[in-house]
Amino acid sequence: MLVASSLTLVMALASGCALPPRGTEATFRSNVLPVLRRFCWRCHGESVHESHLDLRTPGSILRGGDSGPAVVAGRPGDSLLVKLLVEEQMPPEGERPSTADISLISEWVSCLDERVPPQDASHEANSERSP
Ligand code: HEC
């Protein structure tokens, strides 16, 4: 349902960051990571990185893939990952995340702080293979 998910997204965008302080990391762990693991890691995870995109950590998501950053901190509307989810282009086939999942991901993006880059697993990036 493209219309319903777009509406929810607009609402998420309008409300800005509504997570409690330090809720951003908790939201990633409990709401974002499980969705990405379930729907995306098959193609953007441990062994496969379609478009050189690794969706396993905030750092690798911010770094993005061939088209640049997958998310722009604080700006879900400018984030390719959110756009592809809302437009139902990713995952390309099969079961998709719910509208509620997508708006939580969008919320997480709006709460990401670009001044504090996540201190994570960039070393994992070095193990990437070209297709
Ligand atoms: C069946 C494999 C598959 C799954 C599952 C999948 N993707 Fe993709 N994804 C691709 C392929 C192939 C491309 C590159 C070609 C394209 O854009 O269609 C891509 C490209 C992308 C890009 C653009 C990367 C860039 O920098 O060009 C993003 C963002 C993305 N996917 C996000 C996601 C998200 C989020 C999920 C989970 C909700 C997901 N994908 C699930 C196969 C997949």
Q: For position 22, what pLDDT does the model report?
A: 77
- Which of 32, 29, 48, 19 lies closest to 97 in space, CA to CA? 32
Is-above-0.85 flag for pTM?
Answer: no
- Mean pLDDT by 10-residue block, N- to C-terminus, for the chain (131 residues)? 58 68 88 97 96 96 96 94 96 96 94 66 44 50
**DSSP secondary structure letters along the chain:** -HHHHHHHHHHHHHH---SPTTHHHHHIIIIIHHHHHHHTHHHHSSS-BGGG---SSHHHHHH-BTTB-S--TT-GGG-HHHHHHHTT-SSSSS----HHHHHHHHHHHHH--TTS-----HHHHTT----
Q: For position 7, what pLDDT does the model report?
A: 60
CA dist., res. 43 & res. 56, Å (int): 11
Residue 70: CB within 6 Å of ligand 1?
A: yes
Q: For position 130, what pLDDT does the model report?
A: 44
Task: Compute, in angstroms, the gap from residue 21 CA to the centroid of ligand 1.
Answer: 31
CA dist., res. 29 & res. 10, Å (int): 24
Q: For position 124, what pLDDT does the model report?
A: 44
Q: For position 13, what pLDDT does the model report?
A: 56
Residue to probe by mutation, ligand 1, list 84, 86, 88, 108, most atoms within 8 Å of CB: 84
Residue to probe by mutation, ligand 1, list 9, 33, 39, 50, most atoms within 8 Å of CB: 50
Q: For position 60, what pLDDT does the model report?
A: 95
Which residue bears the tokens 């390719």? 80
Atom of ligand 1 nearest to the CA of 53: 24
Residue 96: CB within 6 Å of ligand 1?
A: no
- Are residues 61 and 81 in contact, defined by beta-carbon separation less than 8 angstroms? yes
Task: Compute, in angstroms, the gap from residue 75 CA to the centroid of ligand 1.
Answer: 20
Distance spanning both ends of the chain, measured CA to CA: 33
Residue 44: CB within 6 Å of ligand 1?
A: yes
